[in-house]
Amino acid sequence: MRQFPSWQKETLQEIRTLNHEVTSSVVDSLIGELLIKYEDHEEIYEYLSDFKNDVVEHSASFLHRPESENPLVAAPDFSRYQVNVLVAQPSDRSIPVIYEDNPSLPNLVGRIEHEAQFGTLTTNHTLIKSGALHRAVGGFLILEVEKLLTKLMAWEGLKRSLSSGLIHFDSIERSYGWATTIGLDPEPIPLDTKVILVGDRRYFYLLSEYDPEFSSLFKVVADFDEIVPRSVENNLKFPNLIAKIVAEEQLLPFNRRAVARLNEFSARMAEDAERLSVNRDKIRDLMIEANYIAQQNNQSVVEDSNINDARRSAMFRHDRIRERVQEQILRETLLIDTSGEKIGQINGLAVYSLGQMMFGKPSRISARVRLGNGNVLDIERKAELGGPTHTKGVMILSSFLASRYAAEAPLSLSASLVFEQSYGGVDGDSASSTELYALMSALSGLPIRQSFAVTGSVNQFGDVQAIGGVNEKIEGFFDICQTRGLTGDQGVIIPLANVKNLMLREDLVQAVRDEQFHIHAVQHIDEGIEILTGIPAGEEIGDNAFPEGSVNALIMEKLKRLQEKKKSMQKNGTDNSNQESE
């Protein structure tokens, strides 16, 4: 009996040896051919050898066991020998082009999943999942930069992979030290992928400025313009774009007039009659809405009237604030005159952008002059409501006044400019010519026709320069005049350089054709003041001399009277104009 334990131990050892020999013989017969086939491939041969030895070593775990009700008794498990295919490339060996619409860190570099067993989380190599970088190896990966930058650790993880040329199975919890448990640590996979970032160009400029690694990782830049010339060639290609959208969205056919109206809409988006916008999203949205209107009318094709109705519907859904502003003007809460004449008062034009909505709003600008030391007081700036560009415009018009009317003597006046009923910030120089007209009216004593509104910047030589939002500005004033009733005297004055930007509404164009509304394009400040006052501006005929009765002559006469009065006050010791603040 004393020898029984040793006999049992010897018997078990012999059984294990026999099992090992039998298993080794069986495995050799199965794997031997593979070892011979891949003996020239060191890594494959090494893997197969280790695989054979591991199977023989763990052969006992493959033996069939009687069924047991004990859940802790594990069934035979072959998962350690399962192959986890991370990426399966197509059989035609085509270059993969992968687009990842949710570029989080796990979706880019892969992740290791876990299973819950008996209250604990377990994992194995079969739970390793690939990321977009793995699927794009040998090809291209396309990412939206805005989405990428908003995902936690995604940008840093992508840069690490591109810099090292290896894809590491990183996890957010390990990066931040939230998980300290021991788990799988797969070998990094070599990365050979071209990553393409798409998005708004401002992200390119920001990353170039603030991320020193960006320029070294992304060296090829393609800056696509959304605006193309409105040439004969592009006009002929435009219907092809419409036809493609019709096919993609399964819309009704668009007739020729509807396509022409879409062409005009594209030019309006470009804010240039000589350019076309290739913003497919906005064109498609308009087409879908026009198609819906046509279907509601039981039409077989989409017509230009459907395009017009769709644009009006889109405007109606977005123009709550524009309607409120116009309502305040029509109820005379905001004071805007569209008839009569006033000295030192003029209608300026501003444009507001709120989300997808842009609209023009007229604003009253007034100017007052008095004896002083040549300062032009910008009340908006003094009240800290004026932006730097607006202040620059006021300084430029001040320089124009001084150089034209007081080249050899100081100006003996003080003037003030203000946007009436302006309760927010004012910026931009598009009203500088308008302010100059108001000052010239106040100096000359000539009234300005209130049936006109004006926009345009001015330089030191009196040239009227182009501005933005010209279509919205014109339409904003036209809507007020149309609601009050067109008289045939109303209109706007714009820079000549903005004529190419005109893409106006059909009703406004028709009113211009019928001479119920007027659009005057001017190149110089003298042209505009003649339209506003009905008096010739007058060209200089000598040293600060202008034709009698002209606007410039009246201004010179006013300035001379102020200068003489100032000299008289200085002689009498009563001049306190130098005490005025700028």
9 in a structural domain? yes
Q: What mean pLDDT do residues 63-74 have? A: 57
480 plus 367 within the same structural domain = yes
Q: In terms of domains, do 342 and 301 share one?
A: no
Classify residue 84: in a domain, yes or no. Answer: no
Domain that holds residue 259: 227-318
Domain count, the chain: 4
Give the residue numbers annotated as catalytic, written as ranges.
Answer: 430, 473
Could you tell me the pLDDT band of residue 1, with boundaries at 50, 70 and 90?
Answer: low
pTM for the whole thing?
0.74
CA distances in angstroms from 512 to 169, 467, 483, 495, 505, listed in the order given: 67, 21, 16, 17, 11
The pLDDT tens digits for 420-473 are: 877 776 767 788 888 889 888 988 889 999 999 999 988 988 899 998 889 999
Q: What is the pLDDT of residues 395-412, one digit of tens each?
A: 888 888 878 777 666 776
CATH number, domain of 538, equals: 3.30.230.10
What average pLDDT does the segment 255-269 reach? 92
Q: Is residue 29 part of a domain?
A: yes
Residue 408: both structure tokens together: 């050899």
The reply to whether 323 falls in a domain is: no
pLDDT in tens, 271-312: 888 899 988 889 999 999 999 999 999 999 999 999 999 998
CATH of the domain at 299: 1.10.8.60
d(CA 353, CA 315): 13
478 with 531, same domain? yes
Residue 222 lies in a domain: no
Q: What is the CATH classification number for the domain harbouring 154?
A: 3.40.50.300
Residue 242 lies in a domain: yes
Last residue of a domain, one of 217, 240, 267: 217
Does 71 map to a domain?
no
- Residues 213 and 238 reside in one and the same domain: no
Q: What is the pLDDT of residues 486-538, one digit of tens each?
A: 998 999 999 999 999 998 988 899 999 999 999 999 999 999 999 999 998 88
Q: Give which of 362, 347, 552 is closest to 449, Cα–Cα.
A: 347
Question: Quick check: is 92 in a domain?
Answer: no
Residue 64 vs residues 19, 25, 75, 140: alpha-carbon distances, Å: 14, 19, 8, 48
**Residue 349 and residue 492 in contact, taking contact as beta carbons nearer than 8 Å:** yes
Token readout for 523 is 């190149």
**189 and 234 within one domain:** no
Can you tell me the distance from the alpha carbon of 500 to that of 467, in angstroms, rounded to the nearest whole number? 12
